[in-house]
Amino acid sequence: MLRLSKLTDYAVLVLARMGEPGPQPALQTAPGLAGRTGLPEPTVAKVLKILAQSGLVEGLRGAKGGYRLVKPLPDIRLSEVVVAFDGPIALTACVEGGDGSCSAEAGCPVRGRWDPVNAAIRNALAGITIADLAGPEATPRPFIPDPELSLAAE
């Protein structure tokens, strides 16, 4: 089963709260976001740190410091969040450069043939934004492959 980490799930929740419509403070703090998300403050702080390292939020230090979104939620792709927390998006490790860790790698008849599957998953996750997930109701959208994320990018 393909499953994202809890931190990835929490990151989507934190980003959704940060981008909620209505009056928001210019900078949002880990304690404030913890209160609004129901997550423990240390978890929110960890999520914000990783989001800042990945360039999805900006952290400002100081007594009046906090975090703010670098771009609006409709411009943050789910794939960016997944990569920030879970690493490269792929179903199998053998296509991620073939590091020789698989004993069957040399004679594997399907080696390299997972690439289209991995590209389809990356395209699907890149086609969903945090705004899509944070909206009032989930509305199914047709899948449209992103030509920028084609197999040539592999």
Helix and strand totals (H; E) in the chain: 6, 2
**In the predicted model, what is the mean pLDDT of residues 37-65?**
93
Task: Output 89 or 44, whichever has higher pLDDT.
Answer: 44
pLDDT at 1: 53
Domain holding 38, by residue range, is 6-153
First and final CA of the chain: distance in angstroms? 23
Cα–Cα distances in Å, from 119 out to 1, 89, 91?
A: 18, 9, 10
Residue 59 lies in a domain: yes
Write out pLDDT tens, residues 100-143: 567 777 777 877 777 888 888 989 999 999 999 987 754 555 55
Place of tokens 């959208």: 141
Residue 83 lies in a domain: yes
d(CA 105, CA 61): 48
Residue 89 in contact with residue 117, Cβ under 8 Å? no
Structural domains in the chain (count)? 1
Write the DSSP assignment of 38-77 as a string of letters.
---HHHHHHHHHHHHHTTSEEEE-STT-EEEESS-GGG-B
Residue 119 in contact with residue 150, Cβ under 8 Å? yes
Q: Give the least confident one: 40-44, 64-68, 78-82, 135-139.
A: 135-139
pLDDT at 69: 94
pTM above 0.85, yes or no: no
CATH of the domain at 51: 1.10.10.10
Residue 101 lies in a domain: yes
Segment holding 68, helix H or strand E = strand 66-69
pLDDT at 153: 45
Segment holding 60, helix H or strand E = strand 57-60
